[in-house]
Amino acid sequence: WWQTETGSIMISALPGAIPQKPGSATLPFFGVQPILVDNDGKEINDKGDVSGNLCIKGPWPSMMRGVYGDPKRFFDTYFSQFKGYYFTGDGARRDKDGYYWITGRVDDVINVSGHRIGSAEVESALVENKSVAEAAVVGFPHDIKGQGIYAYVTVKEGVTTNDALKKELIATVEKVIGKIARPDVIHWAPGLPKTRSGKIMRRILRKIASGEFEGLGDTSTLADPSVVQKLIDDKKEFHS
């Protein structure tokens, strides 16, 4: 795990040196001090399985020094929310072995019946299935739960999509996270809307999941704009 702002990898697997766990960013890189804090800014020191806001404690060699011409924005964005810590904007889980699992942006959390579910957590569970190439999860309005879980799933070449595979994926999520995180909708996606740098444009996926096909915003940075129309067509045909 790392960010453009961190300037280097911060939490990383070291193949051959430490055991790896699929889906985990594993352990901090040398000299890096990641911590989890609660919403009040208190460091979570429990040794068990805990979740919180991912922050970095103390400086590191490659850290950014500021935003050019706007020092206030730099401070407000990264250091104001949790005093004394660099706030990454990500949520994370730390298991009993000290391994970190990134659960997604703290503003990219789905509130299902009062339970906060990280989209990255569900995506990680879905891609554990050998048939899945990639997945993207977003929230959508749900009459009973407030928000439901909408999963866009791209399968590997040669895999047939059917109801049996849907049930298998739902069972995987229930096993890894729990029944509260089971997807309400699984949308077989021929591809995902990504920028040329490979970043998934989730705002487009949220709009489509909610049945909003107009006003998708600027799509000029998409690597393959045709993917969006395919997803819209599939939504209208199979998920309306």
Q: If you compute the radius of gyration of the chain from its CA atoms, what whole number of angstroms results?
A: 19
Indicate if 143 and 76 belong to the same structural domain: no
Q: Are residues 78 and 183 in the same domain?
A: no
Is 2 part of a structural domain of the chain? no
Q: CATH number of the domain that 114 lies in?
A: 3.30.300.30
Is residue 180, in this structure, part of any structural domain at all? yes
How far is residue 116 from each of residues 33, 52, 159, 162, 175, measured CA to CA in Å? Answer: 26, 11, 32, 29, 17
* Whether residue 182 has pLDDT greater than 80: yes
Is residue 39, in this structure, part of any structural domain at all? yes
Q: How many CB atoms lie within 10 A of CB 93?
A: 18
pLDDT at 237 over 90: no
130 and 230, same domain (yes or no): yes
Q: What is the pTM for the complete model shown? A: 0.69
Contacts of 110 (CB under 8 A, 6+ apart): 116, 117, 118, 119, 137, 138, 139, 147, 149
Answer yes or no: do 78 and 134 share one domain.
no
For the stretch 50-65, pLDDT in tens is 989 999 999 999 999 9
Query: What is the chain's percent helix, strand, coil content, to nearest 5?
Result: 20, 30, 50
Mean pLDDT of 211-224: 85
pLDDT range class, residue 240, cuts 50, 70, 90:
low
Please tell me whether residues 195 and 79 are part of one structural domain: no
| 216 within a domain of the structure (yes/no) | yes
Determine the pLDDT at residue 115: 86
93: domain range? 11-104
Q: Residues near 193 by Cβ (< 8 Å), separated by ≥ 6? A: 200, 201, 204, 205, 219, 222, 224, 225, 227, 228, 231
Residues 94 and 113 in one domain: no
Residue 106 has pLDDT above 90, yes or no: no
Task: Answer yes or no: are the C-beta atoms of 185 and 205 closer than 8 Å.
Answer: no
* 5 within a domain of the structure (yes/no): no
Q: How many domains does the chain have?
A: 2
Do both 83 and 58 map to the same domain? yes
| Cross-strand partners of 35 | 55
- pLDDT band per the 50, 70, 90 thresholds, residue 123: very high
Helix axes of 119-126 and 163-176: crossing angle, nearest 10 degrees? 120
Same domain for 77 and 168, yes or no, is no
What six digits make up the tokens of 63? 């850290």
Q: 112 and 211, same structural domain?
A: yes
**Average pLDDT across the chain, whole number:** 92
